Amino acid sequence: MARATALVAVAAAAVAAAVATPAAGATLQEATDAGVAFLAGRCADQQPLLAALAEAVDTGDAAAARAAYVASRPPYEEIEVLATNAALGDLDARIDARPYAFDGGEDDPAWAGFHRVERDLYRDANLSAAAASTAALITAVDELCVALTNNTAGVTPAESLDGQVALAFEVAAKKVSSEEETWSDASLLIFKHNYRGIWGLFSPFKEAGLPAAAAAAADDAYEALVAAYAAVDPAGVAAEAVPARPYSAVPVVERAALMNATYVFATAVRAAREALLAEASPAPTPAAAASSRVAGAAAAVVRVEDAYADETAAGVAAFAAQCAEQQRVLVPLRAALAAGDMPAARAAYAAGRGPYEQIETLAAAFEEEDTAIDARPDAFEFGELDAGWGGIHAVERSLYRDDDAAAAVAALDGVDAAVASLCAKLENDSSLFSAATTWAGMLALSLEVPAKKISSEEETWSDLSLMIFRENAKGIRALYAPFAPRLSAPVRDAINGSLDAVQALWGTLDAGNDWATGVDFRGYANTTIAERGSIHTAFMTLHRALQRGAAEVVPAASPAPSPVASPAASPAVSPAASPVAADDGGTCFPAGATVELEGGATVAMAALSVGDRVRTAAGGYSPVYLFSHADPSAVSAFVQLTTASGHTLRATASHYVPVCGRLVAAGAVAVGTRLTLAGGRTSAVTAVTTVVDTGLYNPHTLDGEALLVDGVATSTYTTSVAPRVAAALLGPLRAAYAVAGWSTGALSGGSPLWRLLPHGSAVVGGGDL
Ligand SMILES: *[C@@H]1O[C@H](CO)[C@@H](O)[C@H](O)[C@H]1NC(C)=O
Ligand SMILES: *[C@@H]1O[C@H](CO)[C@@H](O)[C@H](O)[C@H]1NC(C)=O
Ligand SMILES: *[C@@H]1O[C@H](CO)[C@@H](O)[C@H](O)[C@H]1NC(C)=O
Ligand SMILES: *[C@@H]1O[C@H](CO)[C@@H](O)[C@H](O)[C@H]1NC(C)=O
Ligand SMILES: *[C@@H]1O[C@H](CO)[C@@H](O)[C@H](O)[C@H]1NC(C)=O
Ligand SMILES: *[C@@H]1O[C@H](CO)[C@@H](O)[C@H](O)[C@H]1NC(C)=O
């Protein structure tokens, strides 16, 4: 402990040297500005490191370029603590986004930043590509430094504290269990600088009225975190220290201890935030967030016509059989747990994990069961501390990480119940499925594997990711097979060939483990970067082939949405740009919901066009630049919220509304909650009901302000996509519209995109979203 304490002293001194600590009794804004000044200093540190990277890339020396890349990583990982800040616009997306935040994954030209450079240098060893990606990164960082200097961005105390809490929980719930830097294996460096950034932004608040007990708790938690980090990386948290180990060399038990200390730290920062902002807006309790998430589950959309009903039904029937298989294979797991035989339980887990990973292809049609079976802690605001988190990954954690049979049994009970509900839907509720959902599911999963799963340890604690990818491919083949005879020969050959190629690849990656029946998997931690690169290529090839299939099938299956009111002004809903109409049903307003145009006219959603200037809650008007949904014929369930003032808002359950500076899913709003009306007035909800209505529309305004719909302030974000990711994602589109008046159908009509993304919480902080 003496050593750890010494490290804390070093770390605290290093941070203190950079933070101009405000005098005791500083205001919250002064504390915020001091923290932002610390980050502005880090941004100034970032610029020469990137210049050195560009220079190393130019010399053509790949090894030197990689070394310069790693050396350039630290400052932004400290600044990232403000990534959620609305005032920084799309900068985080341009600097630090991963491919899964983009519709086309790596194919998307808008994908930019550090991870693109990482890919170019480490996986592809392509220096000319790295030169271009580095140049784009430098431009974005230069803009960032301007925004941070003297807090030009206008970061508020609540935004600063929310950013700290969010990043601390993100490291605990997500980053520790995913390969934050897949190709460079430098995740420890990332974690360390995330911690330093949070602490640098937090420290000045200790002088701004933070109660002594909360300050002491935060100090203790940071000290313990620094010690936990030092146990994993003897080089410690000092800014200039180079991590002594690659993250892939850190075993599960050490990751668990680091995760644990991170949760304790995150909880202390959250408590400090609440103490500092008590008057402003209490943070939601984990339990509240969890229960309202269930209420936010989307309703199914009924489609009238489906020319591929038989093909769809055949795929769903195959999954119903897999679901029955899933129930059977969980039985030996329960028996092994009952007998207290943990090695047998782990073997039974591995053998029983496959069926759901096939069925997952259709997860969009049963979001509630998918969450109960397969959610990860990072889908919940407070990670593993969230009472609502459970499912197969909780079983995995209990078996492999915590060696806790009782916890495994409890989690298994939840899985069994959700699987039973799922089997009933697959067997008896054909209204949930259509050719459109089938193809959207196949497209989403075939992109999710290369864009996301491959660079996260899909099964961190069990190391079973190779099994997961294999089963995902089998699930895609099972859904696709019935459609094969109805595709053109070239497209069928392309899809068959790419599915065969995935299977052949597994013959080399996991030789000796039969594709159909093998259960003795090679550990994913043991795969090389080159092998992961080949997985990426195989699944992207499959994804592109499936896109060609979707273009042949889906327009006939469910007529593309007819253009809204004035077609000429509405490129956003071009059917060609968006052949797949997915039934996510979770994101919109009905056709009859109204907005106010500049000039005072009131129009229905169905008559609104791209370019129209609509009234926002802030009192101004902003042009619509995108419809992420515009489907006049869908029939869906909406939550109807009636206020004491006589306003009636209808929105899908997972659509956010601003409440007291936070975002709350419509399905989580209770009687008594005060909604915001025009001019910032509020009115209490007097009734919450469910109604069925026609049309699904979600317009986005250029300035991202909350829109007034039927007189009530509503966010354009939904629980389908975490607001931070959604904001990152929309940034480039917004810029394109602002610059060129150009709009896109990339997100319209139900792009499979939303399935890739972590789901947003039912309640999130940051009223500006
Ligand atoms: C390297 O990247 C450039 C630019 O993206 C591309 O044109 C070129 O084909 C790539 N080279 C190789 C060998 O893949
Ligand atoms: C930041 O504030 C300092 C002190 O007020 C001032 O001297 C400096 O010019 C400001 N810099 C920018 C870029 O606004
Ligand atoms: C996590 O921390 C708690 C309390 O600090 C402790 O009881 C628990 O054993 C720790 N778990 C792990 C896996 O380190
Ligand atoms: C489907 O419905 C039938 C008839 O009601 C019922 O017997 C069967 O158990 C249901 N299937 C599932 C998996 O619940
Ligand atoms: C293509 O794949 C489907 C589904 O696996 C299969 O039924 C069909 O026989 C294959 N066709 C060819 C020509 O390989
Ligand atoms: C890891 O790979 C090595 C050879 O590269 C092999 O000997 C070892 O068995 C593998 N371990 C696991 C867990 O797959």
Burial (0-12, 13-18, 19+ Cβ within 10 Å), 338: exposed
When the pLDDT of each residue in the chain is averaged and rounded to a whole number, the result is 79
C-beta of 477 in contact with ligand 5 (< 6 A): yes
Q: What ligand is nearest to the CA atom of residue 119? A: 1
Contact call for residues 598 and 616 (beta carbons, < 8 A)? no
Please state the rounded mean pLDDT for residues 132-158. 94
Indicate whether residue 20 lines ligand 2 (CB < 6 A).
Answer: no
DSSP structure string for 551-592: HHHHHHHSPPPPPPS-GGG-GGG-GGG---------S-B-TT
Which one, of 245, 256, 184, lies nearest residue 532 by Cα?
184
Q: What is the pLDDT of residues 333-375, one digit of tens each?
A: 999 999 999 999 999 998 998 999 999 999 988 989 999 998 8
Instruction: Among 120, 128, 134, say which to mutate for ligand 1: greatest number of ligand atoms within 8 Å of CB.
Output: 128
Among protein residues, the one with the nearest Cα to ligand 1's atom 3 is 129
Nearest CA to ligand 4 atom 3: 428
Arithmetic mean of pLDDT, 81-99: 85
Q: Please count the other Cβ atoms lying within 10 Å of the Cβ belonging to residue 670.
A: 12
Residue at token pair 């129209």: 612
Asked whether 130 and 250 are in contact (CB, 8 A), the reply is no
For the CA of 526, the nearest atom of ligand 6 = 1
pLDDT > 70: percent of the chain:
75
Q: State the amino acid at position 459 in one-letter form.
A: E
Ligand nearest to the CA of 228: 3
The predicted structure's pLDDT at residue 228: 95
pLDDT of residue 558: 44
pLDDT score recorded for residue 633? 61
Length of the chain: 769
pLDDT band at 201 (very low <50, low <70, confident <90, very high): very high
User: 495 near 480, Cβ under 8 Å?
Assistant: yes
pLDDT of 580 reads 28
Determine the atom of ligand 2 nearest the C-alpha atom of 146. Answer: 13
Q: How far apart are CA 200 and CA 222, in angstroms?
A: 11
Note the pLDDT of residue 672.
66
Residue nearest to atom 3 of ligand 6 (CA): 526
Segment 762-768 shows an average pLDDT of: 38
Q: Which ligand 6 atom sits nearest the alpha carbon of residue 463?
A: 13
Mention every residue, 6+ apart, whose C-beta is less than 8 A from residue 372.
390, 391, 414, 415, 417, 418
Concatenated DSSP letters of 180-195:
TTTTT--HHHHHHHHH
Q: In whole angstroms, what is the distance from residue 356 CA to residue 203 CA? A: 45
Among 77, 88, 98, which Cα is nearest to 201's?
77
150 lines ligand 2 (CB under 6 A): yes
pLDDT at 561 over 70: no
Band of the pLDDT at 10, cuts 50, 70, 90? very low
* Cα–ligand 5 centroid distance for 500 (angstroms): 10
Mean pLDDT within 693-705: 70
Higher confidence at residue 658 or residue 702? 658
Top pLDDT among 687 and 581 is at 687
| Residue 440 CA, ligand 5 centroid: distance in Å | 20
* Ligand 6 site, CB within 6 A: 522-523, 526
Q: What is the pLDDT of residue 737?
A: 46
Q: Ligand 6: distance of its center to the CA of 359 in Å?
A: 30
Coil/strand/helix, residue 711: coil
User: Is pLDDT of 749 > 70?
Assistant: no
Asked whether the predicted pLDDT for residue 596 surpasses 60, the reply is yes
Query: 211-264 pLDDT, tens per residue?
Result: 999 999 999 999 999 999 999 999 998 888 888 888 888 888 898 899 999 999
